[in-house]
A and B are shown apart, each in its own frame.
Chain A
Amino acid sequence: MMFALGPETVLQLILLVPGLGAILIGATNRFPNLRDALSLLIATALCALAVWLLLDHVAGGIARLQLTPIVQGLPILFVAEPIGLVFAVLASALWIVITAYSIGYMRKNNEPHQTRFYICFAIAMASTMGIALAGNLLTLFLFYEILTLSTYPLVVHHETDAARRAGRVYLGLLLSSSILFLLPAIIWTWFLAGTLDFTRGGILAGKIEGTQAAILFALFLFGAGKAALMPLHRWLPAAMIAPTPVSAFLHAVAVVKAGVFTILKVGVYIFGVGFLASVQASEWMLWVSAFSLIAASVIALGKDDLKARLAYSTIAQLAYVTMGVCLATVMGMVGGAMQLVTHALGKITLFMCAGAIYLATGKTRISDMRGLGRVMPFTFGAFLLGALSIIGIPPLGGAWSKWFLMMGASDAGHLAALGIWMLSSLLSLAYLIPLVARGFFLPLQEEEDRPQAQGREISVIRLARLREAPLWCVVPACITALLSVLVYFAGPAIAGFILPALGP
């Protein structure tokens, strides 16, 4: 290597690489192959940098980068800390996968404006990195807003009337909630504490109490509109109008994760676990998120459109994180962070599978997907793994997040939360598994049209002639499905990595 990589250089690079990448992608507009190769390369480089930073942190390094002040006394600040690093590595790794998948999807589907698509992806990725590594709330807020704006062109990708309407809901809800709730919450915090730095043990202890603390906490939770807490969830189903890679990106890599990540950071580093528990600011928000969880699961059950069902499933799964934070216990926070990781892996798999099914068959409704498992076994296999992880069945990653969350609930003595989670696991089983079961065990729709096949059930899985989506689309889904399995084994290590950050 020509020059020594210091932590600061890496921090700079991690923001610059996707940023400059966006420009390079724009410059190679006329050469699609070069452009797509470049996208992959940038994603890989970014992931390598994030891993470097993670290893550096494990080795005891403290990466910190301070830039110009946005307002007096509040610089743009980046600090590498465990939860952020986990998010950064996760997001950058999934970006590689989603880029590969996008290349397959966008080409097969002959989508227009592909260059704009990749540029926006790269900018969104840069802002995700900014969010993950932000050292104070204002920096986080800055990149949070850039993320909203840079994903807007992705949501309205098709530029149809429907896309415009969806874009209005998307931008309107996300910007409104952040300006109306998050910004006042941030300024209020600054006014109270005189700092916005993410500090172990929080910065608000002793500065605010009682109802005011509860209001401030609620402002943060609703302000992070990307966490899609009901009733601010409408943008998420609306954004389903976008191409599937975008949906996967919104749900797994960047947007919703940025929302719950913000909530986690606020819970851990602004309020602090101990203070949050002592002022009981989060008690009533726990019930709001519990409602969000159950309501979204029930709505998901009723959706026939696969992407819509997955969208509501995401709303429900995000509420797990919010509830984990609201429990105000160390284990609850760990569970929240784990949920962020495992849900990302699970949900990205599900979305990529949904996209693959659409590419191969043109089908979007679950009721039309009978028997497809027999012609698309890899896709449906991956879907099964992702679904099981989200439900929380070992040996899949999701089991760990549910495990830590339940530990957190019992630490807090919240038996009601335990009950709600059990109910919700059952519900997720009910809305995810039938698709797989019917995919494998019912005959294909086309066969069904023949009279003798009507109503015939098959007791063994019989593979028909394979009709999978392009390799570029199937392989990434399989990879993330396998990663879900791997995370199960890495679970304790991740939890151990995060744990020290949660103490005072």
Chain B
Amino acid sequence: MTGIDFILAHYNYSASIILMALGFYIVISRGNLIKKIVGLNLFQVSVFMLYISMGKVSGGTAPILTGKPELFSNPLPHVLILTAIVVGVATTAIGLALIVRIKDAYGVIEEDEILVMDRAREQLDARSG
């Protein structure tokens, strides 16, 4: 199998990796806190995809008991990811709630502007201490 064929045969992995890298890049590079959360979501979703695609058995159907012996996909990764999605939603919720509070407290949601304010505060503390 050549390199290209290998990658094509594992296209689900490639897709996950590209998504993951994108998400991670957004978390690191964007200053806007909302965009960071978006990146974080992409990052998590890529992992969900990885799991779900892993559970797929070629030619298998949905794992529903019909009485006949059938080839079906592995349901466990789906169940796991259901839990992980819940966790992801909770994380997003907390992240957004924090952003709302940050907006209230600082008036902005740009990371570098917040950093400037915090630095100023630190210098003030250092001078008074």
Decide if A and B touch, CB cutoff 8 A: no
Q: Which residues of A contact B (CB under 8 A)?
A: none
